[in-house]
Amino acid sequence: MDNMITNALGFNTPIYVPNDVDDPADDEYDADVNVERPNEEAQRFFDLLKETNTLLCEGSRDSKLTVCIRLLGIKSECLVSEYTMDLITKLMLDITIDCPLDLPKNYYEARQLVAKLGLGAKRIDCCVNGCMLYYSNEFGVDDGALLECKFCQEPRYRVTRNSRSVRRKPIPRKAMFYLPIIPRLQRLYASMQTTSKMTWHRENYERRKMSDGFTPYTQVSATPYSCWPVLVTPYNLPPDMCMSKPYMFLAVVIPGPSSPTVGIDIYLQPLIDDLKRLWNGVATYDINQKRNFNMRGALMWTINDFPAYGMLSGWGTHGKLGCPICMMDTKAFWLHNGGKATWFDCHRRFLPTDHPFRRNKNAFVHGDTETRDPPDYLTSRQVWNKVKDIPKVEVVGGVASKPRGYGQTHNWTKRRKTKDNDNARRDIGLYCKRNELLLVETSNGKLLKPRANYTLSPDEAKSVCRWVKEVKMPDGYSSNLARCADVDHGRMRGMKSHDCHVFFPDFTSDCI
């Protein structure tokens, strides 16, 4: 039973249920003046566990709560309907008619019992264009009752034949899911095992956030769809626990079908509100020390790929000023023929001052050496001084406005595909000393592009794909790269972002 409860709560240690404080035989709280009674919310949780912790019958290992959790697990794993779950619960009741057990009568009752644990998900309606959430909070937002977007005036609900029916619940055009993080953190302090881990290095709670987009299912149509999960993990836990699967909490699921771009802040609003509450403090009961305390939280950092970095930080990662470290102090320039921004030869300033690459005049921009030091990292106060006067960016109809000066004096926003073509080879002649890559005019007047030294022949490409097809990797290290290898044509197809992160640093370094 304990294992089932703790799996549902998101951790793998047993829950300690204190005795009822109203029990006259229980003098635990009165014997020691340093022992406090649980706060009202914590006591309600402990009472629920005690009430549902009774075994179904003598010799049974399950209680009503564990049966409900297992039923919900079957529905989730097997993707069966609620009607099927009702048939399963009816079967359980029919075969135990001679020995009546306290079992759920249907799927709805099982779901309601588990929902009392306080670990539910909130479904929040949002504008179909991503302009706003229909959402209210105690921090001054009161948009929960609106029927149309206050920016683009798109209706909130779908228009159907039964839309005007009073009995029929309206269907939102778009909705997101938020899983509150505060109750899950409080449950970590309800365990005799995890509460000591949560305070092993400091009292305050710290967290980091991870986000990236993914395709939730195999694409079977021409229109792609991707959604964006946001995960949080508590850094109070020891290093060997904080990044393990039970403690990586799914907090937000941002709906698609496309990237939220600069509008990601809109979907993060419920999570930001919880962070504000944690900053002010939330009453929590520590079952190990038998006392109430004010749990506080702070965001330490975010983990994401470079495009998501631009969405979260507010510094656009496109264009000439796309580097968030160099910012305006950059050597990026526009290619004369290609018409694109390039960051070629911007990395040498980060090398040690005595590195031979700094003095090399041939391998980089020809005739150029590098004497500059790396740019200084900005403090949080310096960043605030730069952005505090920038007007608020609004998303209207799915399009975000850009502050004045974007791309010229800054890249702050709350908002191409390169090819080895003829223009790129012409630019090599202008900026680099690599004669072996320049265009060669043939006898018939056509231009020939010499192959770069890293280019694979068709047979070599097939050999690499064959090797990828057969390579074995540890479980969870990456997705199945073998599905991406097209041996017949010598190509890698359908690689996702994480696949590239594994393929290029690990595999190509072995080849080099």
Cβ(315)–Cβ(411) under 8 Å?
yes
d(CA 30, CA 23): 12
d(CA 270, CA 274): 6
Give the DSSP H/E element, type plus range, for residue 278. helix 269-280
Residues 428-450 pLDDT 10s: 778 787 777 888 888 887 888 88
Residues 170-196 pLDDT 10s: 889 999 999 999 988 888 888 888 888
**3-state SS track over 147-164:** CECCCCCCECECCCCCCC
Higher pLDDT, 368 or 224: 368
Cβ(311)–Cβ(395) under 8 Å?
no
From the number of C-beta atoms within 10 Å of its C-beta (0-12, 13-18, 19+), residue 342 rates as middle
Domain boundaries, the chain: 2-115, 122-310, 458-511
Q: Is 35 a residue whose pLDDT tops 60?
A: yes
Residues 267-309 pLDDT 10s: 989 999 999 999 999 999 888 888 888 999 888 888 888 878 8
- Find the mean pLDDT for residues 11-33: 46
Q: Is 219 a residue whose pLDDT tops 60?
A: no
Neighbours of 69 (CB within 10 A): 23
